[in-house]
Structure formats: structure tokens, C-alpha cells
Structure 1
Amino acid sequence: MLPGMQDADLLDKVVLVRVDHNVVKKGVIHDYYRVDATLGTLFSIVERGGRPILMTHVGRPRNKTDGTIVVDEHTSVQPVVDYLERKLHTKFVVPAVRKNEHGIPALDTSINLLLKDLHSRKIGGIYLPNTRWFTGEESKGEEKDDFARQLAGLADIFVNDAFGSWQAHVSTVGITKHLPSYAGYLMQEEIKGISAIINPQRPFLAVVAGSKFDTKVQTLTAIHKRVDHLVLGGVVYNAYVCAKYNVRMKGVSDSDVEAARDLVKQDEALEASKIVPLRYVVESSLPNGQRENGETSTHHVTGCCCKSDYNYVVDVAPESFEHPEIQEVFSNAKTIFVNAVMGFMPSFYEGTQALDLAIHRNKTAVKMYGGGDTLQELKNLTPGLYMEAIASTGYYFFTGGGTVLKAIESGDPFDLPPVKALLEHTDRIFE
């Protein structure tokens, strides 16, 4: 059984909380929802007498080639700290650090002064620097173990509320070997949400898009097996069309088309196809999603109406969602999962907007959205719908789209490394 923070004694305890506040790009917050989603856990910790220390990763500051780590304002947690201080009217402090070309080798001893202030409630909380700035976070061997012990030395209890951070790093997995560890409230809710996808009410419709097919082969194969209907978008759909109808599109790589052939074969082996054809696409004369000064046109893209060669296909045409077959699939679904932006944003948005409106017309289905871009475009393109959805029990917004896809691929949310670590180290709770 997953240990939940509601079962932990937090009174006068320092609680190290791993959150997923990876919402900063070039020093600016782009997704406040993911921060707000963790506030319930933070409120509970403070209300029950705990003292919080927060930590998150931001971006990818490590150079995979030479191992150097760039520590600068572009991947700093400071914008999140500023937002929390405005939102909660309490002070969070980021400790001073010493860095070199390989990042931050260790926590500075000056953090001990902040711990005293935390215990005496002179400050509301500590927010550690970007975990990926630390040399040990993604390292192997000694550096990893050293960093885990340093983190454990700060606190009495560890709470993981970072559903969107599924990688097995020190701040998500390694720390559980050293402290009593619990799932936060958001983590628990997200796991329930995944369970509703893995064991859905049927008919189950999934909408998945992406900029590359070959990186999503395993995920798409797994989703295809679970759903009753599958709608594809973006380059994923373009590659599928090329593979199924033996056509060519500019901008679609041979590797993507080859990867798509396996999904085509899997679908054609069924008595009835699960992949729902979107019949019309928007074609452009310009690459990279440029719209200005370019020529665009709408074309039929399925069956005998296909051309043999297409220019750059940049979006699904909105009229695709007006076809009776599509409307029937969307209106009859009981569970809908969406991880999709249909067009080349921001210039070609009409297909995504039409998708979201088609989903919204189904008033009885459980509608589950996952993915930062997916949610951001829902908010940008249909703000009224987004605000209605946030308050509706018919919608659920995951804070980590990649994590949802990973869990669907494995078939079990408890197989995710951070969740598995919480289950494997429950013995520390009773020490």
C-alpha cells in the first residue's frame, strides 16, 4: 500500500518536499497551474505543524556531452519562489551555493542558519536551488549517494509530490533510502487519475500528437492496445498517413514513416480499425510553421482522395471534426484522454481549437488532459472552456503528460520509479 502523507506525524518536523515546479523558461513562469496544484500539500504540512523545504528541477542545465552544468538565471527557481511569496504571503529563502563548471558539488553549510530560522518560524520555508544544478542529482555512484545523504540530513521526513518527475534521480528516488517517505496529496490524486485511464469506462478515446513518431512508438503501441478509438495529430499523424497510404510529405522523415508502419500493421490486423481518420489537413508552402506570406490550402488526406505528394502539412483542418464518424466517436466516448496539440503552433491553431471544442461537447465523459503544451494551448485558445473545465468534475488535468504516457506504456502507475521507491522503503516509516 502506498504510504500517504496523511499518515505521517508532521508536528515540529522538517519536511523535505519534492515538487514538480519545472515551469520556468528563460526566467519566466509559463504554467502557474502546476505550482498551484501542489498548494494543498504545502498547506497541510504547515497546518499540521511541519516546516517545509521544497525542491524541484528546472529545465536541462547539464550538457550531456561533457557533463558540465550551467548555473544561471534561466533555470533558477527564483521566479517560483517569488510567485509563492506573493501567493502565500510568506517568506521562502533560497540558500547560497558555491558552484563550478560541474554545477554545485555540495550544499553549503550556511544552510544551517536557515534551518534555525525555519525551526523558529522566522521564515515560512526553504526552497533549494534547482536540483539539476547539483552534481550528484543525475550522477552515478559516490556523488549520487553523497547528495542523497546531504538532502536527508536537512529533514525528518520526505514527501514526494512530483508526479511529473518520473526519472530515477536522487531527489525522487535516492532520498527514499534515507528518510521515512510518503506520497503527497497531488501524487495520490494523479495515480488515481492514471488508474482511470488504465482501467477506463468504455468506449475509451485517446488523442495523441507529437513532433516525432519514432520517439513515441512504444507509447502509441501500448495506447492502441488499450483504447477503443485513437485519434492522432501533428507529425505523428502525418507519419501515419504517409505509412498507410504510401504518400510523401515534406518535413516527415523516413525514420518516422518507418516507425509508423508498425502501428499501421497493428491496426490493420484488427477486425475493425481503432485509428479514426481525420480527413482534411492544412498544407503550407513554407516550413517551420510560418504563415505570413505563405500559401495554405486544405486537402483530403485519406483513401482514394490522397495526393501522392504533399507540401508541409501543418495542421488538421477544423472541418475534420465535423464529419459524422468523428462526431459519433467523440460523442459516444465515456473516457477521453488528450495529449495533443494538432498543429504547428502558434500560427496554425485551428485544428487544436476544434479538437477541444469537440471534446467539450461531450457532457458525460471523463475528460483527462495531460502535457504542458496540451494544457497551455487549451488555456490560450479556449480560455472560457478552460476556466469552466477547472471547476468541473468532468475534467481532470494531469501535471505531467510524459509521466502519464510512461505509466500507460508500463500498464501500472506503481511501476514508475519514484512511486516504486516509496513502496520499497516503507520500512523506514516504522524505524
Structure 2
Amino acid sequence: MGWKNLDDMDLGGKRVLVRVDINVPVEDGKVTDDTRIRRVQPTIQDILAAGGRPILLAHFGRPKGKVVPEMSLRPLVPALEAAFGTPVTFCADCRGPAAQAAVDSLAEGAILLLENTRFHAGEEKNDGGLAAEMAELGDIYCNDAFSAAHRAHASTEGLARLLPTCAGRLMQAELEALESALGQPQRPVVAVVGGAKVSTKLELLGNLVEKVDHLVIGGGMANTFLAAQGIDVGKSLCEHEMTGTAQDILAKADTTGCKILLPSDVVVAREFKAGAENETVAADACPADAMILDAGPDTVARVAEVMEGAKTLIWNGPMGAFEIAPFDAATNAAAKQAAALTKAGQLITVAGGGDTVAALNQAGAAADFTYISTAGGAFLEWMEGKTLPGVAALTPQA
């Protein structure tokens, strides 16, 4: 891919500026979910093992260039120390004399956490001056924040232009997984795309129909595609103004040879609540007073058949209203099928997106997927075929 990883760098005695995404939920001053912290643990451990000194750069919330005490990274120190098993020093700035002094006094085997990069207006503006001040604190820049790689900020893009640069272990894993899924995948490739709205995933769908062999469309957006074929979807969530766009995507798929799989049967109900009275009907037989809330068993069987014949699966978005039973059935069944095929060595599975991760966890399938991305916007933009500034900056300039 042209970028370097930690194995390509001489880290001994070096100050390593590591851009991480530890934008984790905090309640009453305590971290309630340390998943993102644990995901960067391999990078930190490898830097320490190689004799490097990790200096963490991160954002937290949206302070919009101002110091907002409630968005300080200081409360994360105990969670970082617990995850990394080593002392973590905190500095109340990410550049300037205080940060320089903290770097100079960093003990061997310890970690330094610098304050929220977004406390400076120059961060989101990708200000060269701020990037230069950060660069003075390190010898090597390591980007381990794929989830922030779609932003051209001082700490994600500008800094990479000023120091020897490499990808951290999480960034490396993300890029290798995505390359295996879309760059040079084993075919046939199937993509499952769900969620509420076609409008939020237009570019994704447009890119996928050019790259995958089968595209399974589920969730609320499937209703828009059904409506585009003249099917009455009753009171279902549907973007009727997007039916023309849905028709364009279907036409494009015809020219590229991508086979689109839409629901052939659906689960409908008159109200959206747990245990609501429901029935399964043909996709073109939704009652006028009902709404489609999940794909039916015939659709699930067709999806399973497509997966059986595939080598690579990309998943973004649930197939139904998975948050509430019984409308989680299609998502759960398809997820378990994908997980079983992965475990059997028949399928490479890559998934990402907030609802996707939640749905796969709920189905008990996440652990068996080949790779699950913690990134939201960056994962989606990569799948859309866009160049991510933070990734592009990892590649040495000619």
C-alpha cells in the first residue's frame, strides 16, 4: 500500500507522537466503555517494547477551538493506566513549553497524554503552525486513529507531513481489512447494506454496485427501493422523494453486473414496539395501514444462499429494526450465518458502522467476524471510494 508500519521504524529511544482516537463515553468522571482505549493497546505496547516513548495526541468531543474543562482528557488517565499497565502522565496542553517540559521529563516505560487537540482552533483548520509545534515534541509520528482519518486536521494530516510517519497496529489492521474487502478481494463479493435512509448512503451504494457481485439492501432503505418499483409500502419508513435515485442505482447495477437482492417477503406491524402483533407477507402485499419493520424468512434464506456462494462479505447497517424484538430476526439470522461461514474458513467478513457493530454484538456474531471496524464516518467514506486525508498522508511523498 506504500505506507509503513511500526516494524519499519527504529523506535529505540525515540519520542513517538501517537495519534489515537480515545473519544470514549464518560459519566461522572469515569470511562463507561473503554473499547477504543483497548484497541490501541497493541500499538502502545509495541512502542514501549521497542524502547520508544509514546506521546498520545487525541481529541475529545467538539470544543470548537476553545478550552472546555468538561472535554479535558485528564479523566481518561486511570482508564489508560488500567488498559496499558503502565504509568500515564498528563499535560494540560498539546504544544508549547508545558508540553515540551512534559516530554523532556517522561520516564522510560511511561506514557504521556497531551490535552485535547481540539482545544486549539488550528486543529480542525489543519493549521501548519500548530502542526509544526506538535512536531517539535516528537521524532516519529504514528497514526493509529483510522476513525479520524477522514478529517484533514493538524494532528491527523498536517503532522504526518513533518515527521517520519507510520501506521499504528489498529490503523494497519483497518487498512489491511478494508483492502482485503474492496481493494483486492476474493470473489464473489457480497455487500449487506442496511439502515434507515438511502440519502445517507447514496455514494456508498453507487460505489458498491461497481465493485461487488451481490448487493443485499435491507432496513428502511429497502422500502425506498421497493417503492421505486411501484410497490405500495403502506406506512413504512420510506424516502419517496428518493425513488428516482433508487431506480438509477438499480439501472447502474444492471450495467455493472451487480445482482441486487431486495426483500421478497417482509414482517409488518401496525405499531413499533417490543412484541407488537405482526405478520409476514409478500413484499408487494404490505397492508396500507401497516409498516415494514424487518425482512421475512424467505429473504433471509436467499441472503444465506448468496453468502454460501461468496468468498468476501462487507456489512454496513442492519436488515431491519433490530433494536426491538421480534424485528431483529433477519439481522440476527444473517449475522449468525455470516459468522458461522467465517468460523468455517469459507468467508472473509468485514463490518463497520455504529448500528452495525451493535447489531452484530446483539446477535452474538461479532467475535467470529474477520474484522469489525470501530470507525464510523471513516469506514463509510472508505467504502464510498473516497481518499481519506489521514491515510493518504501516511504514504511518503515523491
Matches within 5 A, 1:301-380: 301-302=282-283, 305-307=284-286, 309=288, 311-317=290-296, 319-320=297-298, 322-323=300-301, 325-347=302-324, 348-362=327-341, 363=344, 364-380=346-362
What's the counterpart of residue 10 of structure 2? 9
Q: What stretches of structure 1 of length at least 5 have no aligned partner?
A: 63-67, 98-105, 427-431
1:148 is matched with 131
Change (3 A) 1:3 1:267: closer
Which runs of 5 or more residues in structure 2 are unaligned?
A: none
Does the 8 A contact of 2:350 with 2:370 survive in 1? yes
Matched-pair contact (CA < 8 Å) for 1:163–1:403: yes
CA contact (8 A) 1:234 1:341 kept: yes
Structure 1 residues 284 and 200: CA distance shift in structure 2, 3 A: same
Distance in 1 (CA, whole Å) between partners of 2:210 and 2:9 is 39
Give the Cα separation in 1 of the matches to 2:339 and 2:216: 16
Q: 2:55–2:112: 8 Å Cα contact kept in structure 1?
A: yes
The answer (yes or no) to whether the contact 1:18–1:159 under 8 Å persists in 2 is: yes
Q: Distance in 2 between matches of 1:353 and 1:82?
A: 36
Pick from 84, 93, 109 the counterpart of residue 88 of structure 1. Answer: 84
Alignment of structure 1 residues 1-400 onto 2, 5 Å: 1-24=2-25, 32-62=34-64, 71-73=68-70, 75-78=71-74, 80-96=76-92, 107=95, 109-118=97-106, 120-121=107-108, 124-139=110-125, 144-166=127-149, 167-198=151-182, 199-248=184-233, 249-269=235-255, 274-286=259-271, 290-291=272-273, 295-302=276-283, 305-307=284-286, 309=288, 311-317=290-296, 319-320=297-298, 322-323=300-301, 325-347=302-324, 348-362=327-341, 363=344, 364-382=346-364, 385-387=365-367, 389=368, 395-400=370-375
**CA deviations over 1:8-44 (Å, ceiling 9, x no partner):** 2222211100122333366775754433232221111
Provide the TM-score with structure 2 as the length reference. Answer: 0.86
Aligned-partner Cα distance in 2 for 1:243–1:310: 19
| Residue pair 1:181, 1:425 contacting (<8 A) in 2 also | no
Indicate the SS of the match to 1:225.
coil
Deviation of the 1:177 alpha carbon: 2.4
CA pair 37-295 structure 1, distance change in 2 beyond 3 A: closer
Residues 124, 310 of structure 1: CA spacing in aligned structure 2 closer, same or farther, 3 A cutoff? farther
Using the alignment, how far apart are the partners of 2:300 and 2:125 within structure 1?
51
For residues 49-94 of structure 1, give each alpha carbon's deviation from its aligned partner in whole angstroms, at most 9, with x where no partner exists: 11111122334444xxxxx758353x55456433221122222233
Query: Per-residue deviation at 1:316?
Result: 2.8
Backbone CA RMSD of aligned residues? 2.9
Aligned residue for 1:102?
none
Do the aligned partners of residues 235 and 130 (structure 1) sit closer, same or farther apart at CA in structure 2, a change above 3 Å counting?
farther
Cα deviation, residue 173, structure 1: 0.4
Q: Which residue of 2 aligns with 1:65?
A: none
The C-alpha deviation readout for 1:199-236, integer Å capped at 9, x for no partner, is: 21122111112232112111111111211111122222
Q: Distance in 2 between matches of 1:260 and 1:296?
A: 30
Q: 1:185 to 1:208 in 2, by over 3 A?
A: same
- 2-structure distance, mates of 1:370, 1:359: 14
1:300 aligned counterpart, secondary structure? strand
Count of residue pairs the alignment pairs up: 388
Shift of 1:125: 1.3
Instruction: Quote the offset at 1:174 in angstroms.
Output: 0.6
Opposite residue 259 of structure 2, the aligned amino acid is: K
Measured in 1, the distance between the counterparts of 2:361 and 2:4 equals: 34
Does structure 1 conserve the Cα–Cα contact (< 8 Å) formed by 2:349 and 2:370? yes
Shift, 1:188, TM fit: 2.3
Structure 1: distance between partners of 2:336 and 2:11 = 44
What code does the residue aligned with 2:333 have? A
Task: Give the letter for the 1:35 counterpart.
Answer: I
Corresponding residue SS for 1:82: helix
Percent sequence identity over aligned pairs = 32
Distance 1:349 1:129 in 2: 41
Q: Tell me the residue number matched to 1:409.
A: 384
